[in-house]
Structure 1
């Protein structure tokens, strides 16, 4: 890698024209050769969904000056799969970065996030991968304060790599007073969800998901704490979902079959 310009795959879940991916793409231009592959429309909350049973559209487009760019009709994970197979043709990129997402993907949100699932798919493909998110859901979000942190974290990953099966989940607080970077654990927090029932013009009920984010974790080593105190949080996550601590418990059971 030191003898060549690294190849960097840029993906997201907010869509090919989202301000967040533009910010990430321009940040990565200083670090290597950038290839953008992103959904042709927003795919937030898709998790690790893939497209099965219908064709995918995958087109090279002229959208960003001097940057090889493709739009995909599928999910963020589809984008990574197609990039590896159809763009890089099995020659893995040196880095996969996803985002910058409009809205946080801290704590339990990592399970639902299309942004993080794209990064996880990169790691499944043995590509060092990072997901970036900002605590601002608006299309007018200001990404500039977090760009130097994005570059620094990506540079460190390019230099050192990541442990096998590990992905970085990076979240930024809103505003231009980010104090620094905190390596954290995922907070024990969840959404207390409600479904608002409404009626359509024909009198038939439909439902709108709402809810409140509840933090049940008082630790000062969590991503929620870091963000609340104006730090960028970096949580190493993994796609091996085995609950290793539970294996001895299950082995103590007597299965009568």
Structure 2
């Protein structure tokens, strides 16, 4: 009796036609049965936002005629896509959820803003082994080819061994050719932050508007971080937990006089 193929949910935050998700779909089609539920427009930096004050639309699409997977474009956020997939579209819970491949970094503090990672986290909250993938290249002409073999290996390992309860993986790829990538490092999230400013401008009608800008500051000198790994030619893998409790602080807060 042949083994049943795993069911794999693919999503992202860059939109269903983005080159990154098309590469991810290509790899997942070599592993199992694929269903794609992704935003119909870019939803970068949406974090874990969900749609509650507007209607959601979800339509079947066919981006490339020769591809076998079922695809749905959603008017909502990446997290909306996962919720719709699990509760309305799929007949059973997926064996794996993969999100990406994001155009740009989701390392360090960026993980909390990331729609890519929030989709993976949402799937993780309901017990689906999940991985978010990102490439440190914001260009629409980014070359995702060097990522393929790593993505396939990680997906197969995840399907075979599962993930610890409450954990999803945040995977970032350096912008390098395949033969330049030194390997994979399992890391901690670097202690880094953004120093942000707003570029204030005035439109032709005299109304002020703002563009968010800023500088990424990494003062973490550790050689066990995602930022160190990426800077030194490695793929970074950070196990991310969605229990946000600061367990180490409970004793301190309990000492306060409430």
* TM-score interval (norm. to shorter): over 0.9
2:242 aligned residue: 239
Q: What are the Cα deviations for residues 158-195 of structure 1, in whole angstroms up to 9, with x where unaligned?
A: 11000011010000000211111000000000111110
Cα distance in 2 for residues equivalent to 1:8 and 1:179: 28
Aligned to 2:72: 70
Q: d(CA) in 2 for partners of 1:53 and 1:225?
A: 41
State the TM-score, normalized to the length of structure 1. Answer: 0.97
Match of 1:183 in 2: 186
Q: Does 2:251 match 1:248?
A: yes
Alpha-carbon distance in structure 2 between the residues aligned to 1:123 and 1:22 = 22
Q: Report the equivalent of 1:216.
A: 219
Q: Return the alpha-carbon distance in structure 1 between the equivalents of residues 127 and 89 of structure 2.
A: 16
CA–CA separation in structure 2 for the residues paired with 1:204 and 1:58: 36
Q: Which residue of 2 aligns with 1:60?
A: 60
Q: Which moved more, 1:108-117 or 1:170-179?
A: 170-179
Q: Distance in 2 between matches of 1:138 and 1:163?
A: 34
> In the alignment, which residue of structure 2 is the partner of 1:126?
127
Q: In the aligned structure 2, how far is the partner of 1:209 from the partner of 1:63?
A: 33
Could you tell me how far apart the structure 1 residues matched to 2:80 and 2:206 are? 38
Partner of 1:108: 109
Per-residue displacement from partner, 1:15-36 (whole Å, max 9, x unpaired)?
0100000000001111111111
Structure 1 distance, partners of 2:207, 2:61, is: 42
Separation of aligned partners in 1, 2:211 and 2:61: 35
**CA distance in structure 2 between the partners assigned to 1:7 and 1:184 by the alignment:** 28
Give the deviation of 1:114 after TM superposition: 0.2
2:1 paired with 1:4 = no
CA distance in 2, matches of 1:51, 1:154: 29
Q: Report how far residue 62 of structure 1 moved.
A: 2.1
Report the aligned-residue RMSD. 0.9
- What secondary structure is seen at the aligned counterpart in 1 of 2:24? helix
CA distance in 2, matches of 1:135, 1:61: 28
Q: Report whether the alignment pairs 1:37 with 2:40.
A: no
Q: Distance in 1 between matches of 2:192 and 2:52?
A: 32
CA shift, 1:252, in A, is 1.1
Which residue of structure 1 aligns with residue 25 of structure 2?
25
Q: What secondary structure is seen at the aligned counterpart in 2 of 1:109?
A: helix
1:139 equivalent to 2:147? Answer no
Structure 2 unmatched runs, 5+: none
Hey, what does 1:13 align to over in structure 2? 13
Deviation track 1:116-167 (CA, whole Å, cap 9, x = no partner) reads 0000001011100000000000100000011111111111101100001101
